[in-house]
Chain A
Amino acid sequence: MSAQAIYVLWLRDMKWFLRAKARIISTIVMPFLWLAILGMGLGAVTQIPGVGNYIDFLAPGIVAMAILFNATMTGVSVLWDRQFGFLKEILVAPVSRISIMLGKTFGGTTTSIIQGLMLLFVAGLIGAKMPDPAGFFLVLLFMILLGIGFVGLGLAIASRITDPVAFPLVINFLIMPLFFLSGAIFPLGMAPEWLRVIAYIDPVAYGVDGLRGVMIGVSEFPIWLDLAILGIFSLAMVLLGAYLFKKMSA
């Protein structure tokens, strides 16, 4: 494994990110609309028992959403690299596939977290409840785990799917249900039994629950459990991505 290679792949992602202003804006606009419209629209008629304000309840879910979508879309960069031939330059270099995968994972996670933080900031401006300074580090930790897990998933899928048109469709098909089932927009505690059972196998649910626990002090599970389950999920996705990357060809 080469630290230099991991770093340079990360660096490349950062350069792209900073140069693609349109992308940065567009990827926070959608979660922002969710937050603003759903938060204010539903907020006017909805009170979540034990929480009170709907926007306080919603904000952690939408932060998770921003990370989820950005992280999985990291896989697109692999498709582009393949399309434009740069993947050959990467694959013929004397660095292990694991380093390549890790570099991409860290790059995608960093950009996802930046966008998650931007959304958190916007949510604060709208009036959602913010974590205290200590809680902020826990929020960051949840963001990192969510980011790593879903970047890993996105990269794993990207190593298999070569069609740039099909990729976003597959991602959406996968991510949408995970998001809706996660309890990001409604409290799982009040959902019917069958829905709750499904939600328990949704890793996003633990991310949302953990973020909510830290930010507004209300959660289904203890925060340590959320962290543990999310941590296991992230590790599994990185391993899966690394395995599939190893077998990938240009």
Chain B
Amino acid sequence: MRAIFTNGLTREFNGLTAVDHVNLQIEKGELFGLLGPNGAGKTTLIHMLCTILPPTEGTAKVAGFDVYKEPDSVRTSIGIVFQDPSLDNRLTGKENLDFHGRVYGMSKTLREKRIDEVLKLVELEDRANALVETYSSGMRRRLEIARSFMHHPEIMFLDEPTLGLDPQTRRKIWEHVQMLNKQEKITILLTTHYMDEADYLCGRVGIIDHGRIIALDNPKKLKDQLEGDIVSLEVPLPKKYAEIFRRRKYVKEVKIVGDYLYLTVTGSEKVVPKLIDIVARRGGKVRSVGCRSPTLEDVFIRYTGRGIREEEGGIKEQMRAHVRAHMR
């Protein structure tokens, strides 16, 4: 049985198709990432999978249960961190967790044990009895994560778990996510529009744009489809060396920009020494070398013809982070 299975899953909002015939199969134990720009339909998809938004078309099964027909069974099997804040700010951290434990039917002893465990995991023990009002946004996010898995869900949904957080906190959250997946054996579906996050965390990544999954594979394979790394060399007489390099079969493309050569190559780890060697044998000297692997951003560009942030601009992103920080 698959953890998550969707068949033509679709959601429309007054004529706008937010999620467009999505077919997803996620196996048990996977850490799956949905990567897409603002408005791609990530949150809408997650809301349908966690039963709080009915699909307009298609079906979805989570933990083997139909999200529309058996919502209660789905709800018992899942844990979720929503994109937007969902804590009760007027309760303490501990009280929020206690509330959660009770509505998920945990006994008093189990609840108390588990609350201590999860608080310790997200390193919030010492602030457990303070009102959530007084927490920083990173602390709130960690509390939400602690809450989402305290009832031992089989499957977790994390909707942009690190949006608007500083790099250290993001790292921390990444560690928690990996721990949940590896140690607690929880299947995880997370959404993000951070390339590095999807790349670092996820076993498989689905790229979603305008409600459709346009590419799906493990991050390495997605990047390998671009076939090659980009190597830059600073050399004297770039034209001369360009000619020489073009004749090598492991070099796919050569571009000259000023004193620099940009080469697209496969297996750069092996190729770069050879290139330096070639230059040296002809009496030249490589002044600098740069090597960049293609990122998921390059993959996104290849499939959509534009960058993931390009059309939204950085400003909207910043505003959202700002609004979010204030809502918390």
* A contact residues vs B (CB 8 Å cutoff): 2, 4-5, 7-8, 12, 15-16, 19, 81, 84-86, 88-96, 249-250
Binds A, one of B100-108, B169-177, B199-207: B100-108
Please judge, given known A-B contacts A12-B91, A94-B76, whether A2 and B105 are in contact too, CB under 8 Å: yes
A93 touches B88 (CB 8 A): no
B85 touches A250 (CB 8 A): no
Q: Does B99 contact A (CB under 8 A)?
A: yes
Please judge, given known A-B contacts A15-B91, A85-B85, A86-B86, whether A4 and B53 are in contact too, CB under 8 Å: no
The contact sample of 18 A-B pairs, CB cut-off 8 A, is A2-B103, A4-B102, A4-B105, A8-B99, A19-B90, A81-B88, A84-B87, A84-B88, A84-B89, A85-B86, A88-B84, A91-B52, A93-B104, A94-B72, A94-B76, A94-B103, A95-B103, A96-B72
A92 touches B80 (CB 8 A): yes
Give Cα A4 to B91, complex, Å. Answer: 18
User: What is the minimal beta-carbon distance from B86 to any residue of chain A, in angstroms?
Assistant: 4
Q: Does B75 contact A (CB under 8 A)?
A: yes
4 additional A-B residue pairs with CB within 8 Å, beyond A85-B85, A86-B86, A89-B100:
A84-B88, A84-B327, A88-B52, A92-B50
B95 touches A90 (CB 8 A): no
Give Cα A90 to B82, complex, Å. Answer: 12
Q: Which residues of B contact A85 (CB under 8 A)?
A: 82, 84-87, 327
Closest 3 CB pairs of A and B: A94-B75, A85-B86, A8-B102
Q: Which residues of A contact B91 (CB under 8 A)?
A: 12, 15
Q: Which residues of B contact A2 (CB under 8 A)?
A: 103, 105
Q: Which residues of A contact B78 (CB under 8 A)?
A: 92
B51 touches A92 (CB 8 A): yes
Q: Which residues of B contact A92 (CB under 8 A)?
A: 50-52, 75, 78, 80
* B contact residues vs A (CB 8 Å cutoff): 50-53, 72, 75-76, 78, 80, 82, 84-91, 95, 98-100, 102-105, 147, 327
Q: Which residues of A contact B72 (CB under 8 A)?
A: 94, 96
A5 touches B102 (CB 8 A): yes
Q: Which residues of A contact B76 (CB under 8 A)?
A: 94
Give Cα A70 to B203, complex, Å. Answer: 53
Interface-central residue, B76, B82, B84, B86, by most chain A CB under 10 Å: B86
Q: Which residues of A contact B103 (CB under 8 A)?
A: 2, 4-5, 8, 90, 93-95
Q: Which residues of A contact B99 (CB under 8 A)?
A: 8, 12
A86 touches B88 (CB 8 A): yes
User: What is the minimal beta-carbon distance from B180 to any residue of chain A, in angstroms?
Assistant: 18
Q: Which residues of A contact B53 (CB under 8 A)?
A: 249
Give Cα A86 to B132, complex, Å. Answer: 12
- Closest residue on chain B to residue A103 by CB atoms: B103
Q: Which residues of A contact B82 (CB under 8 A)?
A: 85, 88-89
Give Cα A89 to B101, complex, Å. Answer: 12
- Closest residue on chain B to residue A93 by CB atoms: B103
Q: Which residues of B contact A250 (CB under 8 A)?
A: 52
Q: Which residues of B contact A16 (CB under 8 A)?
A: 90
Give Cα A5 to B76, complex, Å. Answer: 14
User: What is the minimal beta-carbon distance from B316 to any residue of chain A, in angstroms?
Assistant: 20
Give Cα A96 to B90, complex, Å. Answer: 24
- Closest residue on chain A to residue B102 by CB atoms: A8
Give Cα A238 to B98, complex, Å. Answer: 27
Q: Which residues of A contact B104 (CB under 8 A)?
A: 93-94
